[in-house]
Amino acid sequence: MREGDRAGMRQVWTEDELDRALAGLYMDIETDQRGLAGVRENLVAAAEGRTGPRPGTLGTGAVGTGEGARRRSPVRRWLAAAAAVAVLAAGGVVAQTVLFSADTATAQAQEALTSAADVAARAADPVLAAGQYRYLATHAWWMKTTGAESRSFSFLNENLVETWIPADPGGEWLQRRRETGNRKWVEGTEAEARAAGVVIEELPWPERRAEGGEFVQGAPEHGNWQFPGPEFVAGLPTDPARLYERLRTDSGGGKQVLVYAADALRTGLMPAAARANLLRALAHLPGLDVTDGAVDLDGNKGVALGISEGEERQEIILDPGTGEVIGERKVSDSMFAGVPKGTVTGYSSVTTAVVDRIGAPPTR
C-alpha cells in the first residue's frame, strides 16, 4: 500500500522517496564562503581528539527484475562477502591523492570531503560482541500535503525510525517506526484542516522483523546503495573517480548522487574504509558546496554538504570526528502545492549506538 493511501493523503514526494526512511529534508542556509581554515581545523581537531574552535558535533532503491535479479539467502550473501570487505577495510586506510577537473565540487567542498575521508579512514568501526546489536535511529520531520476541495494543507510531521542490527548481520533485524503526533504547519492550520474533513493521522506502522534486514520483499540479491551489504560494498570501485562514475550511473546523476551516497552512509553498514572512499568520490560531484557549522535536527554541529538543483536544495551533515552522516535537510526552491519558496520541507538527524539486546534503547 502506498504511504499516501494509508491516510488518504497526497504526498509531496514520490513513493520511493518516502520509503527511503531517512530521506531527511532541510533548512535554507546561505553557503559560508569564509574559507577553508575553519572546516579543516574542525576536522583535524576531531581526528586528534582535541577541542577545536567550534564544537564537533533509512530506505529502498530500484529493484532489478529478470534472471539477473534472482534473490538468494541474505545469510549466505553476508558470509560470502565478509572476506572481501575485510580486504577493503585493511587497504582503505592509506591516504589517496585525488585529481579534480573543473566539473567537480567547489574547492571548499573538496577540502572538507578530503579531510573527512582521512578522518573516516582512521576511525574504528564499532565491534559488537555476540548477542549485541547496532542501534540506528532516525529522528525526522517529513512534509505531508493533502487537499480538500480547492484548499491544500501542508505540515511537517515528526517521525522516529529505529533499527536494531545484530552482530551477525545475517541474523534477525528489527525496525520500528512511529509518528509522535507533533506537527509544524506550513500551510493552513490543524483546526482548518479538520474542519475541512482532512484525515491527518496515519494508521500505526507495524513492527518489522526480517532475517538479514530484508524488510522489503524482492530486495536485490547483491544489495544496493540503500542496503549496502558486504557483497555490494566489496564490489564497489576503490578509485574515487571510478566510484563517482558508478554512483552517478546508478543514481542518474545530479542531486541524486548525494541522495544515494547519503542512503548508504546513514545505514551504519558501510565500514570506515568504504565511507572514506565514498566521501572522496563525492568531491567529483559538480555543484556540491559546503555550509560550515550547520546545525542538525538535534542541535549537534557538523560540516554540511549540499547541492541545489531544480526546485530544491539537498544537504547532508557530516560528523567531523567520524565522517558519518548525522543529519540531512531539504528546502523548497520554488512555490509548490502552496508551499512558498524557501520553506523548510523537512530535516532529520541520525544517531547510532551499541545495545545488548534487540528492541532495547541505548543508555545515555
pLDDT at 336: 66
Residue type at position 108: Q
Kindly report the average pLDDT of the chain as a whole number.
74
Helix (H, G, I), strand (E, B) or coil at 123: coil
The residue ranges of DSSP E strands in 65-207, in sequence order, are 133-148, 151-166, 172-187
DSSP element (H, E) containing 308: strand 301-309
Q: How far apart are CA 245 and CA 239, in angstroms?
A: 10
Task: Between 10 and 300, name the one with better pLDDT.
Answer: 300
CA angle 53, 272, 171 (to 5 degrees): 130
Q: Count other Cβ atoms within 10 Å, centred on residue 214.
A: 17
pLDDT at 258: 94
Cα atoms in the 13 Å half-sphere on the side-chain side of 31: 18
Q: How far apart are CA 200 and CA 9, in angstroms?
A: 8
CA angle 38, 108, 39 (to 5 degrees): 20
Nine cell digits for residue 260? 544515494
Rounded average pLDDT over 270-277: 92
Nine cell digits for residue 166? 545484530
Q: Is 80 exceeded by the pLDDT of residue 85? A: no
Q: Which of 1-5, 284-288, 354-358 has the lowest mean pLDDT?
A: 1-5
Q: pLDDT, tens digit, for every residue of 135-152?
A: 999 999 998 888 877 788
Q: Which of 53-62, 78-87, 167-176 has the lowest mean pLDDT?
A: 53-62
- What is the model's pTM? 0.68
Residue type at position 17: E
Q: How far apart are CA 315 and CA 289, in angstroms?
A: 9
Q: What is the DSSP string of 195-261?
A: HTT---PPPPPPPEEEETT--STT--TT-BTTB--HHHHHTS-SSHHHHHHHHHHHH-STHHHHHHH
The owner of cell 579543516 is 40
Q: pLDDT, tens digit, for every residue of 179-203?
A: 999 999 988 999 999 999 998 888 8
pLDDT at 180: 94
Q: Which residues pair with 208 in a beta bridge?
A: 175
pLDDT at 51: 40
